[in-house]
């Protein structure tokens, strides 16, 4: 059982209700329309968000270094960066192989989070192409249910069980999970632990990336072997920042994006942080120049590039004291 729920940011009641309502509506729509439905909804929420904040001016660059001490127990004596790709819709899946080729050109190894029964049909050829490129295949769910974490225990268990089995028949062992639309909850993390996933990568601070320190380094959510439940422990590898936020939600310009990554790279070097940067293939396709700039910035930073699954061997429990 996950005992320290203080380390898991809880979503507000209004967000949970909105997610449940929207996922119920999405359920009634044909697969092809779901993408456009959420795009329509996001257009309204983004307009409101942009009106409310001038993102780069209000961005909190003051980093609380007191909370972030270098870890003596860390086996990885350096900061790192990981790239992930959430393949949410058919439009993402169509661009996946091109993205694998693009990453290969830059010598990047990424982690691909795939759906098994979403608006695209997984085929062996694409999955093998991803793996052959030295990348990781992880689970993003059965479909893109934005309210997953707030469903019943039975629903979540079946959802995870069936989709993981299906993905493993094609890709082999699957270690990690990222909740659709980051719809994570303490219940979902408990079930992931019971199902012996090695890591979750769904926690993210979507407003101010420097305001909550655990979003920079993996931490152990539960490390006690629980004989009764057969749980093997679960590691959270938080998401630092993602493309939908900087490009779609906040609509940042190239200069501002570069400034943010300069800052993140400096923090990662100074404090041995593990940056996890998430992209969506369909967003990359429309912003290849921005994507290439970010990748080049990271590549030239001299931070090592690791797949997310590589990080699970390099965790320490540095955050215990800061977040309890
Ligand atoms: Zn997603």
User: Which residue would you say has higher pLDDT here, 144 or 322?
Assistant: 144
Distance 74 CA to ligand 1 centre (A): 30
Distance 144 CA to ligand 1 centre (A): 6
**Every domain of the chain and the residues it spans:** 7-323
CATH class of 7-323: alpha beta
User: Which residue would you say has higher pLDDT here, 321 or 259?
Assistant: 259
Distance 118 CA to ligand 1 centre (A): 11
Distance 242 CA to ligand 1 centre (A): 11
**Tens of pLDDT, residues 154-173:** 999 999 999 999 999 999 99
- The structure tokens listed for 97 are 């192989």
Report the chain's mean pLDDT, rounded to a whole number. Answer: 80
Task: Give mean pLDDT, residues 15-33.
Answer: 77
Distance 19 CA to ligand 1 centre (A): 14
Distance 146 CA to ligand 1 centre (A): 8
Would you state the pLDDT for residue 142?
A: 95
- The structure tokens listed for 212 are 């909550």
* pTM recorded for the entire structure: 0.83
**Tens of pLDDT, residues 228-242:** 554 457 888 888 888
Range in 105-119, 189-203, 248-262, 293-307 with the lowest mean pLDDT: 248-262
Distance 67 CA to ligand 1 centre (A): 30
Inter-residue contact 295 to 84 (CB < 8 Å): no
Distance 114 CA to ligand 1 centre (A): 9
pLDDT class for 300, splitting at 50, 70, 90? very high
Alpha carbon separation from 19 to 9, 101, 183, 235 (Å, rounded)? 16, 35, 8, 25
Distance 70 CA to ligand 1 centre (A): 32
Distance 128 CA to ligand 1 centre (A): 21
**Tens of pLDDT, residues 243-268:** 988 887 777 889 989 988 998 898 88
Inter-residue contact 144 to 89 (CB < 8 Å): yes
Distance 113 CA to ligand 1 centre (A): 8
Distance 225 CA to ligand 1 centre (A): 30
Distance 251 CA to ligand 1 centre (A): 19
Inter-residue contact 241 to 41 (CB < 8 Å): no
Can you tell me which residue has the tokens 């990348």? Answer: 135
Can you tell me which residue has the tokens 């809880």? Answer: 10
Distance 245 CA to ligand 1 centre (A): 13
Whether 59 shows a pLDDT value over 80: the answer reads no
Distance 202 CA to ligand 1 centre (A): 10
Distance 5 CA to ligand 1 centre (A): 24
Whether 103 shows a pLDDT value over 70: the answer reads yes
Can you tell me which residue has the tokens 């939600």? Answer: 249
């Amino acid at each position: 059982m996950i005992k320290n729920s203080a380390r898991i940011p809880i979503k507000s009641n209004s967000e949970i209700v909105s997610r449940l309502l929207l996922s119920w509506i999405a359920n009634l729509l044909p697969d092809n329309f779901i993408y456009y439905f959420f795009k329509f909804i996001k257009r309204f929420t983004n307009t409101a968000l942009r009106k409310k904040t001038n993102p780069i001016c209000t961005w909190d660059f003051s980093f609380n270094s007191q909370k972030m001490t270098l870890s003596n127990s860390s086996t990885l004596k350096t900061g790192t960066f990981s790239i992930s790709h959430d393949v949410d819709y058919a439009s993402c899946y169509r661009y996946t192989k091109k993205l694998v080729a693009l990453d290969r050109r830059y010598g990047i190894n990424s982690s691909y989070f795939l759906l098994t029964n979403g608006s695209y049909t997984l085929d062996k050829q694409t999955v093998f192409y991803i793996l052959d490129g030295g990348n990781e295949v992880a689970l993003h769910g059965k479909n893109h249910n934005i309210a997953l974490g707030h469903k019943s225990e039975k629903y979540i268990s079946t959802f995870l069980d069936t989709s993981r089995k299906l993905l493993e028949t094609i890709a082999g062992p699957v270690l990690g999970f990222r909740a659709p639309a980051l719809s994570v909850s303490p219940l979902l993390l408990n079930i992931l632990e019971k199902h012996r996933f090695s890591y979750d990568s769904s926690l993210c601070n979507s407003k101010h990336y420097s305001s909550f320190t655990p979003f920079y380094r993996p931490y152990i959510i539960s490390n006690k072997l629980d004989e009764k439940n057969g749980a093997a422990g679960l590691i959270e590898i938080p998401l630092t920042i993602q493309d939908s936020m900087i490009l779609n939600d906040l609509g940042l310009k190239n200069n501002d994006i570069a400034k943010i990554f300069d800052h993140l790279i400096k923090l990662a070097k100074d404090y041995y942080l593990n940056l996890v940067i998430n992209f969506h293939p369909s967003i990359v396709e429309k912003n290849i120049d921005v994507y290439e700039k970010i990748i080049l910035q990271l590549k030239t930073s001299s931070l090592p590039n690791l797949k997310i699954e590589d990080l699970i061997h390099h965790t320490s429990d540095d955050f215990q004291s800061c977040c309890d």
